[in-house]
Chain A
Amino acid sequence: MKFSLSWLKNYLETTASPGEIAETLTAIGLEVEEIEDKATALQNFIVAEIKTVEKHPNADKLNLLTVWTGKETLQIVCGAPNCKVGMKSVLALPGTIIPKFNEVLQKGNIRGVESQGMLCAEDELCLGDDHSGIIELQTEATAGTLFINILKPDVVFDITVTPNRGDCFGVKGIARDLAAAGIGKFKNTDTSLVKGTFKSPISVHITTPDCPVFVGRYIKGVKNKESPDWLKQKLLSVGLRPISALVDITNYFNIGECRPLHVFDADKLSGDITVRSAKNGEKIKTLDDKEYTLSENMIVVADDKNAQSIAGIMGGIETAVSKETTNVFLEAAYFNPISIAKTGRALNAESDSRTRFERGVDAMATIQGNENATQMILDLCGGEVSDLIIAGKEPDTKRIIDFDFNLVKKLCGIELNKSDSITTLENLGFIVNGSMITVPSWRYHDVSKPNDIVEEIIRIIGYDKLPAFPMKSNDIIISTLTPMQKREFAVRRALANVGLCQAITWSFMDSSLACFFNTKKIMLQNPIASDLNEMRPSLVPNLLSATKRNLDRGETNIQLFEIGPEFFGVQPGQQRIVACALRAGVTHNRHWNDTVRFVDCYDAKSDALTALMASNAPMNVQTYPQAPSWYHPGQSGSFNLGKNVLAYFGEIHPKILKLFGIKVPVVACEVYLENIPISKPKTKTQKPLKISNLMPLSRDFAFIIDTKIQAAELVSSIYSVDKELIKEVRVFDLYEGENLPIGKKSLTVEVVIQPFQKTLTDNEIESLSRRIIACVHKNTGAELRS
């Protein structure tokens, strides 16, 4: 909301500086975005009088002037065609900053002649677009006078008005707030009632509940002309284009007092006025030269034939006033804010009226609003006025709240003098009667609860006066994280610790890619882009897209992880937290002493294990050769506890990589953190360490076994032989190929045996070896390689 200092002074007697006003506005909740202060930018420009004009000796198009500054005569080179002797213009002396260029003017030498200053055109001072010549001042002022004393530029404030403060969409409301905050005295400019001399030939009917009151008045014999300068200046200062006195008056009250108005050319209206619901498909051409198609949940102001305005939003062009207009019908009405907001949004029609109506104007100022505008029309355009027509009734929007003044201390912790609080409220227009507080009608939309009154008091007293207390500290909390949250934190650090870089990618993705990962589509109705239109069913695709981008930047080895939600349903809560790690390309850059290889399934398995370990997953997880369709069917698997899948890992399926345009191997794992049971150890005490004084010994076994049998089966068979003695089984060789029957592989393991009681005899070792071979054979069909 923009307003100028002079406009503010219509409603506020004050000597405060623009700086003080701005500071106060921000402090009371009307945050100042910008102050436009031309006076500061133009403070060094002075009036100068041209004494002589001669041709420049070395340039046809330039003149050589002498100008009088009130103190001295200067020589100036000037190219403007309009310089003439005796003319007064605006002079910049060397050292002055020229606003248009934001540069300091230097003493110049133009084609061999010194120029001791510059006479300015309108555009150079940012006062307009005119560059056809230098400014010609029609002034009695003598040379040497400061230019700003003639221009008297206005200071313009631009403030953010929060949606609850409809009243501050009027300069009057802002003035009232400032007065309450001690910046001057509020002036009420309401006129007394204007007496009509005849009965309006047009009457008003209301057939919709969304318009409780419509106040109309017929004014005949007006002369619609250009507005006087003071009115034009006010509108211009806030960026509104003056049109004609009648239109400008409505704009003036809209901005000045948050009172939207409309004037119809009465001669163009047919019959009476009806405020009614629009008909479905009804069309109206409006003042902004657009045509809107209306529907029945919108309201219009219509004559006997057509809709003549979209109520509260925009007037129709058919009955608009023009310079020829002589009889007008003035509308001041109140419309339901919700109806206006819905209509405005549906039609995508912006207007100053809509902004005000949808935030709520003062319903009880409808009659007064019409009176004020009538008086100004009479003052500026003349004419004769009818009696007031009041259709409906001004709604009673005064609200009484039972208020306990102790609430200020209870809510804000500040001890205030009750009488100060009362004065503050009264200055804002509240009526205080003991504990009963009457909220002024212009604050009806905002102040409805005791808390609101507390805010009114402390925002005027100043938030800076509020005390700052420490939080009452409880005993130190053991942990503020739940076990699941701790797990997420631990996994994040653990994955970063194995070389993965944490990414955060969108929760949404391209549905044309999501279809390869989802079982159910969870679509956005209004995506920001067509490739961000579905909630991600897995973290893999977004990390694949990221991988592609990184590869395209020339990276050769990529290690990424993300911990975040994947979505499996549209209902709140149908999401699960997943830790997804991805490696692509080679393991690392080429190195003089370390072999580079492509990433493989076991890298992903390792990352999955890292996450499981960091999650305190139970040690008895099983591996299964099964994974979703985006993994390579032969090079992927899962970690399970029975049917409960804790994680998937493996190579990404080549067809998926092709889809993403990736040409290097990619492996990934997805760990479902919520599926991992939370272990609740009864004690923090560790199991006692059991060490043997006897030397461990190891034996190697090479087995020939079916290719399709997992090494893990063989290993667990060995463990099962003697849980006491067998400490570790290490797979250290895998061989497939020549010298082996088709469908067979050779697995070689080292079994570490740790005796506890006594050293094993050769016979005992021999017997253990035989049991191992027998057990492995029984469980897996493996034969010892001869």
Chain B
Amino acid sequence: MNETETLKKQILKKIEETLSLDELENIRISTLGKKGSLTEMMKTLGQLPQEERKLIGQSLNSIKIEISEAIETKKKFLEEKELETKVAAESIDISLPIRPLQQGRIHPVSQVMEEMLTIFAQMGFELAEGPDIEDDFHCFEALNFPKDHPARQMQATFFMKNGDNLILRTHTSPVQIRIMEEKQPPIKIVAPGRVYRCDYDMTHTPMFHQIEGLVIDKETNMGHLKGVLMNFMRVFFEVDNVPIRFRPSFFPFTEPSAEVDIGCSRENGEFKIESGKGWMEILGCGMVHPNVIKNCGLDPNEYQGFAFGFGLDRFAMLKYGIPDLRSFFDADTRWIKHYGFLPLDIPSITSGLSLNGGQKR
């Protein structure tokens, strides 16, 4: 009896004292293993008289259970401790930079074009396109530019070498002609694209972008033109009140014609829409000239509508405070990364036109 009690105490003490899992395992083997001390003692039970055997057997069994539990508890404790030590040794410098992340950009011209199309789509305008190389008919003649009239000199034209009367389009207005030739009214389109003028300085580049709008049906009038443009400005510049001024002007392909100014200020490169600080001319528009409608094979007594056109690059410069037009076409990656937009910054009406893509890295 005493013998077993002593053994139990010894073993439990060992378990308590041990600091390693290996040693604990040795203790388990040397006590509960096939040749362990307790196992050996169990083996001797058979030689004892029945009464005694029962008593001693019971006590040995309970010792065995007690020791097993002690080992399990200690094992859990030691395992946890070991993991703690291991993890503690594994700390790293979390200030080191992340692996290179390639983040591309969308050019401001494309971004602003998408912003504009998003707005015009709300008003039901479809997207139309036309070629960069144009003939005289589509670029001038059909648009009611008389031959040799000073109005043709308003736009310095690039001429092609090997083509009769072929030019680079000086404006997106030829798309008006192509659409009216192709489609029966009602017509409601916008047409963005590259345009070319023989001009190069701080504010002029030989290539830039315009967007053209055209509506032809039986009743659209100048009031609609005004409504569309006022709405457009408000949404595009993301300002509730845009001061807008319509002034009479002249374009061969519209009559009546208008130029539109917005009220704004420009201080230290910052552009702000506000009234009372001066006007800036931003676009030309008007009711499509009856001669133009006729030149496209439609009856001007039956059909009417409006057209407008403006510089995409210029609107990008104004809205996003980009200083130099020439830098738009230089493909300087520093510039594109700075002024460009994130791939996920997709303009939408539900979430707003700009900055839905988060911050650039």
Contact = CB atoms under 8 A, between A and B. Distances in A.
A binds B: yes
Interface of A: 26-29, 31, 162-165, 337-338, 341-342, 345, 358-359, 410-414, 449-452, 454-455, 458-459, 463-464, 466-474, 477, 480-482, 485, 489, 492-508, 521-529, 532, 535, 542-543, 546, 549-550, 553, 555, 558-562, 564-565, 567, 570-575, 587-589, 591-594
Contacts of B336: 501-503
Contact of A477 (B124, B147, B222, B228): B124
A632 to B, nearest CB: 23
Contact of B334 (A163, A452, A507, A553): A553
Contacts of A525: 158-161
A468 B114 contact: no
B133 interface: yes
Given A163-B250, A459-B248, A527-B158, A575 B132 contact: yes
A252 to B, nearest CB: 24
A528 B206 CA distance: 7
A555 B250 CA distance: 48
Contact of A507 (B125, B132, B289): B132
B100 A341 contact: no
A571 B163 CA distance: 7
A410 B287 CA distance: 11
Contacts of B328: 504
Contact of A571 (B133, B221, B330): B133
B121 A477 contact: yes
17 contacts: A26-B247, A412-B222, A463-B258, A467-B223, A467-B226, A468-B227, A469-B227, A472-B224, A485-B127, A492-B110, A499-B102, A499-B103, A505-B331, A507-B194, A567-B132, A570-B160, A570-B163
Chain B contact residues, majority secondary structure: mixed
Chain B: interface size category: 35 or more
Nearest to B93: A592
Nearest to A464: B246
Contact of B329 (A450, A471, A504): A504
Contacts of B148: 338, 341-342
A452 B255 contact: yes
A455 B256 CA distance: 5
Contact of A550 (B120, B135, B147, B331): B331
Contacts of A523: 160-162
A524 B160 contact: yes
Interface in B17-31: none
B106 interface: yes
Interface in B243-290: 245-250, 255-259, 287, 289-290
Contacts of B107: 502-504
A588 B97 CA distance: 14
Nearest to B160: A570
Contact of A549 (B222, B287, B330): B330
Contact of B255 (A455, A499, A521): A455
B106 A493 contact: yes
A543 B246 CA distance: 41
A499 B342 CA distance: 10
B104 A498 contact: yes
Given A463-B246, A498-B104, A504-B328, A493 B343 contact: yes
Contacts of A492: 106, 110
B291 to A, nearest CB: 8
A522 B104 contact: no
Given A455-B255, A473-B123, 16 more contacts: A28-B248, A411-B304, A413-B222, A451-B256, A467-B223, A471-B227, A471-B228, A480-B117, A492-B106, A495-B104, A504-B329, A507-B168, A507-B196, A560-B331, A560-B333, A565-B132
B337 interface: yes
Contacts of B187: none
A129 B227 CA distance: 52
A564 B96 contact: no
Contacts of B343: 493-494, 496-497
Nearest to B287: A411
Contacts of B97: 591-592
Interface string B184-213: 000000000010101110000011000000
Going nearest first, the 3 A-B pairs with the smallest beta carbon separation are A499-B102, A413-B223, A29-B248
A572 B194 contact: no
Interface string B125-167: 1110101111100100000000111110110001111110010
B53 interface: no
A163 B150 contact: yes
A470 B235 CA distance: 14
B124 A500 contact: no
Given A26-B247, A469-B223, A543-B331, A567 B133 contact: yes
A413 B224 CA distance: 8
Contacts of A481: 117, 126-127
Contact of B134 (A455, A501, A522, A572): A572
B287 A451 contact: yes
B287 A570 contact: no
A455 B162 contact: no
A506 B207 contact: yes
B150 A341 contact: yes
B243 to A, nearest CB: 12
Contact of A470 (B103, B168, B231): B231
A546 B131 CA distance: 25
A564 B104 contact: no
Contacts of A464: 245-246
Given A26-B247, A469-B224, A501 B333 contact: yes
Given A501-B340, A502-B104, A410 B221 contact: yes
Contacts of A337: 149
B329 A505 contact: yes
Nearest to B200: A528
A550 B154 CA distance: 36
B183 interface: no
A503 B336 CA distance: 7
B340 A480 contact: no
B230 interface: yes
Given A162-B250, A413-B223, A459 B256 contact: yes
Contacts of A591: 97, 99-100
Nearest to A533: B161
B100 A588 contact: yes
A503 to B, nearest CB: 4
Interface in B217-240: 219-224, 226-228, 230-231
Contacts of B125: 480
Given A413-B224, A469-B224, A469-B227, A502 B340 contact: yes
A593 B333 contact: no
A535 B340 contact: no
A691 B139 CA distance: 59
Contacts of B64: none
Given A28-B248, A492-B110, A507-B196, A341 B126 contact: no
Given A481-B127, A496-B343, A466 B223 contact: yes
A454 B132 contact: no
A469 to B, nearest CB: 4
Nearest to A493: B343
A501 B133 CA distance: 27
A508 B357 CA distance: 33
A412 to B, nearest CB: 4
A573 B134 CA distance: 8
A572 B249 CA distance: 30
A482 B104 contact: no
A500 B246 CA distance: 41
A612 B27 CA distance: 67
Contacts of B227: 468-471
B163 to A, nearest CB: 4
Contacts of B102: 498-499, 559, 588
A496 B105 CA distance: 5
Residue among A337, A467, A480, A522 facing the most chain B CB atoms (10 A cut-off): A480
A558 B104 CA distance: 11
Contacts of B166: 570-572
